Amino acid sequence: MSDRLLVLVRHGQSEWNLKNLFTGWKDPDLTEQGIAEAREAGRKLKAQGLSFDIAFTSVLKRAQHTLDLTLAELGQTNLPTKRDLALNERDYGDLSGLNKDDARKKWGEEQVHIWRRSYDVSPPGGESLKDTLARTLPYYVQEIQPCVLRGERTLVAAHGNSLRALIMVLEKLSPKEILARELATGVPIIYRLNADSTVASKLDLA
């Protein structure tokens, strides 16, 4: 039986995560801590005895750099990799570059939480999680899932909200359940899928 392996990992801490700025489609690189987290992700996957046949990432530096560092730990620096903006972070629109605490002071704790975690409320000029899902899901279904179902061991290095969108579908979470779902930086989640593409098992390497 083939191993229908799908591993998702959020990028390590970025310069703007550290500065507490809304990032979205802006393109800061990893911090020293982020680099360490990405290497640690690779070590954890190695400790699970895993290796990969294909990888997917976004067109943003922090996810690509995370992928490179993770693959280096696995000794797989030449792995075939596809980069696509479908896997980019949610576009934070007018909030991009603003400090998250300043935004809370300006618009209130609750409004900012709704913009950050709700399913269908868009931040001003940006994408809701629903909008993000509308681009990540077709890409997942057309490009990623067929690899997994063919038995190609698949690694996806992406972003908090592009991955939350995919996790919502994989784990069949409701718009209410996804509100509470947080993704730590650099923590791989290992899924194994059934032949019908539903999730057979999940292991969070936190």
Ligand X SMILES: O=C(O)[C@H](O)COP(=O)(O)O
Least CB distance to ligand X at residue 46 (A): 26
65 is catalytic: no
Q: Extract the tokens encoding 198.
A: 């539903």
> Who's near 88: CB < 8 A, 6+ residues apart?
25, 58, 59, 60, 158, 159, 162
Among 37, 40, 89, 152, binds ligand X (CB under 6 A): 89
| Spatial contact of 7 and 154, defined as CB atoms under 8 Å apart | yes
Minimum CB distance to ligand X smaller for 6 or for 63? 63
Q: Extract the tokens encoding 90.
A: 């949610």
- Of 10, 144, 11, 7, residue with least CA distance to 65: 11
Calculated CA dihedral for residues 196, 197, 201, 206, nearest 10 degrees: 180
Instruction: Determine which one of 37, 40, 65, 89 is catalytic.
Output: 89
Q: Considering the rule CB under 6 A, would residue 119 count as an interface residue with ligand X?
A: no
Minimum CB distance to ligand X smaller for 105 or for 150? 105
Among 92, 139, 140, 191, binds ligand X (CB under 6 A): 92
Q: Extract the tokens encoding 127.
A: 């994408």
| Spatial contact of 85 and 154, defined as CB atoms under 8 Å apart | no
Q: Extract the tokens encoding 70.
A: 């993770």
Number of neighbours of residue 180 by Cβ within 10 angstroms: 8
Instruction: Determine which one of 11, 37, 127, 159 is catalytic.
Output: 11
23 annotated as ligand-binding: yes
Q: Considering the rule CB under 6 A, would residue 116 count as an interface residue with ligand X?
A: yes
Q: Considering the rule CB under 6 A, would residue 65 count as an interface residue with ligand X?
A: no
58 annotated as ligand-binding: no
Q: Considering the rule CB under 6 A, would residue 139 count as an interface residue with ligand X?
A: no
The residue whose Cβ lies closest to ligand X is 23
11 is catalytic: yes
Handedness of CA 127, 12, 138, 171 (dihedral sign): negative
Residues marked as binding?
A: 10-17, 23-24, 62, 89-92, 100, 116-117, 160-161
Give the footprint of ligand X on this chain (CB under 6 A): 22-24, 89, 92, 116, 159-161
Residue numbers annotated as active site: 11, 89
